[in-house]
Amino acid sequence: MKEFDRCVDELHLQGLKLHPFLHSYPIDSHPLLDPIFEKCAKADIPILCHGEGDCAFTTPAQFAEMANSFSDVNLIMSHMGFWQLTDIAIEKAKKIENLYLDTAMVSDPNVIHDAVDKAGANKVLMGTDTPGGSLSLELTKITMAVTDREKRALVTGGNMAHLLRID
């Protein structure tokens, strides 16, 4: 927490990424993460978290738990439930105001289209996982999935600019 406080207070951290799958902890571990979420709420810092549906640490239900527990924190589910749980992830984002979906590595443009259609264009963020992923491929998927230019502008940067308070 001391290093996190330093990053927020001295370096003006704008966003935080958590990776429960890589570091072996559940996203809804209140004893571990409540202090971090509380600091993010106070500093208005969004949290991006790896969110694959095939991992017991990052299910849409666990994201919903944290988003509901910390309504002042904008929580971004990267990979939006990745294959197995995308429908549930979209439904959770539709119902929870501060839960957002990131499109990184979502292979089917139809899933992205459904997320924009059901949860709203303002709840979907283009993700790339660059350099691991391909920026051009991710942009192509968004272009295919979101044909409305205004909605696509939100997904490809407008929503993130808003979350980072740079719009």
Model-wide pTM > 0.85: yes
Amino acid at 144: M
Q: Estimate to the nearest angstrom the gap between the alpha carbon of 64 and the chain centroid.
A: 12
Tell me which residue has tokens 């939100």.
154
What does the pLDDT look like over 132-162, one tens digit per residue? 888 999 999 999 999 999 999 999 999 999 9
Break the chain into its structural domains and give their ranges.
13-163
Predicted local confidence at residue 121, as pLDDT: 98
Q: At what angle do helices 30-43 and 60-69 cross, to 10 degrees?
A: 50
Other beta carbons within 10 angstroms of residue 112's beta carbon come to 25
User: What does pLDDT average to over the chain?
Assistant: 94
Q: Is residue 78 a contact partner of residue 104, using CB atoms and an 8 Å limit?
A: yes
Predicted local confidence at residue 55, as pLDDT: 81
Quick one: tokens of 20?
A: 């429960």
Q: Which CATH superfamily is domain 13-163 in?
A: Metal-dependent hydrolases (3.20.20.140)
What whole-number distance in Å separates Cα of residue 155 and Cα of residue 113? 11
Predicted local confidence at residue 53, as pLDDT: 73
Predicted local confidence at residue 131, as pLDDT: 77
What does the pLDDT look like over 36-87, one tens digit per residue? 999 999 999 999 998 877 788 999 999 999 999 999 999 999 999 887 899 9
Share above pLDDT 90 across residues of the chain, in percent, rounded to a whole number: 84
Predicted local confidence at residue 37, as pLDDT: 97
